[in-house]
Structure 1
Amino acid sequence: MTLKSGLMGCAALCGLVMATQAFAECEKPTLYGDFGHSTCKDWPAYPGLSITAMSQFESGFSASGSGPEGKYDLDLAVVSAGDSKPLATYHKSDAFESDAIVFEDLELDTARYKLTPELRAFGVRVRFKGSSSANPMDESWLSLYVKEGNKLRPVLERLVVYAYGGEWDTRCAGERSNTVRTIEIGKTSSHGYADLIVKSVTTGMVGEGEGEACDVKSTTSKPVVTTLRYDGKTYVLPGDFKGV
């Protein structure tokens, strides 16, 4: 082995070790109970900081194999990657409810939500899914949080960014639709925070007939652009944009 190849091999190995160590520093919070969701993600906008999120079944431990129906809390923290020390936190009881529509997933979103020249938000996405084939339901919400001192504050809550639903006979006849919303940071602002430009695209399927006579037509609606403005406390959502 030449000196050059040896150095290159060492550099690659050292880089892998450092990357592994950096990844290992971001640890998911420990769940206390059978049901809940926990995650952790490095925050690229602020090197050295990570975000943790945890949502637990509030009624404590459960032996149910199918999962409990009830309410879940939400705990968020921005932590120092070096020692996992919480720098800012957020807690909300009764944040989500799981019943016939199951609270299925929780994840962090560190896209570039630059609300002011000095301030970036991070997102929390939650997913709910129904169990009915004839009346399908699948929905994802996005909430945005900013760090203010040692506290985290929600500035956008429960924006429905994905929705799928409908009613059909599970074979052909009926309707189903799918709406996807994406966000861009606007060039204008309200009360000091950048306006959010939301584009909604809805596609659908309409089926008629049975068996070989089944006729399914696809539909795509014209994209709808909506501007969300900050009112000094939160971004105001149209009624049908907010998850319930």
Structure 2
Amino acid sequence: MKSGLIGGVALCGWLMAGQVFADCTPAPVMGDEDLSVCKDWPAYPGLTISAKTRFTRAAAGALSTHDLDLSVLKDAQPKPIATYHQATAFVMDGVSLRELTLDTARYKLTPDLRAFGVRALLTNGSRLNPLEENQLSLYVREGEKLRPVLRQLVVYEYGGEWDDNCAGERFEISRTIDIAKTSSHGYADLIVKTQQTGTKSEGEGDACEDKTTVYSPVLTTLRYDGNSYVLPPGFKSL
């Protein structure tokens, strides 16, 4: 069983915060590959966000998947005030879902509306052909429903291949998001800054050398089309 847990808390702090701590204890999950996490939503005091995945191991010839369930709870009430379910939210095509985290940064999309994020870390665990990817999705609350407005933007990616000695190539891509002053269809545009590096290793033994290229940052504007933010090629998780 895997669950995101709140870090250590001093005893006196735990006693004073008691109910708040209990409110944000992740719900139990059933399988070793399932994940569960929760977090208070600072933009809306009294509300807590919860996220869970359920792993389905595929039959021969198919791919394993994770379903995703999100909910927003109020003041420790057992029944959520808003929910979202996505079947086959994550497809395990040569990778595993290692971590799920909630992002409550200031994603202010309209004067009265803030989104929250769900970040998913996927890796393949390979030494010779490593791949690590962190993707971000944004959700807004609309009454009793939660709705995705940004789907699986890759905010970090690392990969490459090498010969287990020296020779090889690898790359690293990181992205950050700023809220633009402009808007499209009533939602603020998102400015994504992409920073990429590439490294090539050559030689043998002590003569092995790394040559790293740092590319100039690239700014890309994501615009809302009335349903979701449109991602250009290469920005969306595979």
- TM value normalised by structure 2: 0.89
The corresponding residue for 1:63 is none
**Counterpart among 145, 153, 168 of residue 147 in structure 2:** 153
Structure 2, unpaired ranges of 5+? 1-9
What residue number does 1:144 align with? 138
Q: What are the residue-to-residue correspondences of 1:35-184 with 2, within 5 Å? A: 35-58=33-56, 70-184=64-178
Aligned partners of 2:14 and 2:21 also within 8 Å? no
2-structure distance, mates of 1:161, 1:170? 28
Aligned counterparts of 2:85 and 2:202: Cα–Cα separation in 1 = 48
SS of corresponding position for 1:239: coil
User: Paired residue for 1:197?
Assistant: 191
Distance (whole Å) between structure 2 residues aligned to residue 177 and residue 20 of structure 1: 45
* Number of residue pairs the alignment of both structures matches: 225
2:5 — aligned with what?
none
1:32-83, CA deviations, whole angstroms, 9 ceiling, x for partnerless residues?
A: 33321000000000000000000011359xxxxxxxx611100000001332
> Partners of 2:182 and 2:195 in 1: how far apart?
23
Cα distance in 2 for residues equivalent to 1:209 and 1:102 = 33
Q: Distance in 2 between matches of 1:46 and 1:131?
A: 38
- Structure 1 gaps of 5+ residues are 1-11, 61-68
User: Which amino acid letter does the alignment assign opposite residue 156 of structure 2?
Assistant: Y
Q: Does 1:226 align with 2:211?
A: no
Structure number having the greater helix percentage: 1
Name which one, 1 or 2, has greater alpha-carbon Rg: 1
SS in 1 for 2:229: coil
Give the alignment partner of residue 181 of structure 2, picking from 182, 187, 198: 187
Instruction: Supply the distance in 2 between the matched residues of 1:109 and 1:160 (Cα, whole angstroms).
Output: 14
Please tell me the residue identity of whatever aligns with 2:152: R
With 25-34 and 229-238 compared, the bigger mean Cα shift is at 25-34
Q: Which of 4, 14, 17 is equivalent to 2:15? A: 17
3-state DSSP class of the match of 2:234?
Answer: helix
Distance 1:109 1:213, change over 3 A: same
| CA distance in 2: counterparts of 1:218 and 1:171, whole angstroms | 18
Contact map agreement 2:175 2:195 (CA 8 A) in 1: yes
Hey, what's the Cα distance between the residues in 1 that align with 2:135 and 2:98?
Answer: 12
Structure 1 Cα separation of the partners of residues 95 and 11 of structure 2: 47
Counterpart residue number, 2:28: 30
User: TM (normalized to structure 1)?
Assistant: 0.87
**Aligned partners of 1:231, 1:38: CA distance in 2, in Å?**
31
Give me the whole-angstrom Cα distance separating, in 2, the residues matched to 1:84 and 1:121. Answer: 23
Q: CA deviation at 1:134?
A: 1.3
Percentage of identical aligned residues: 59
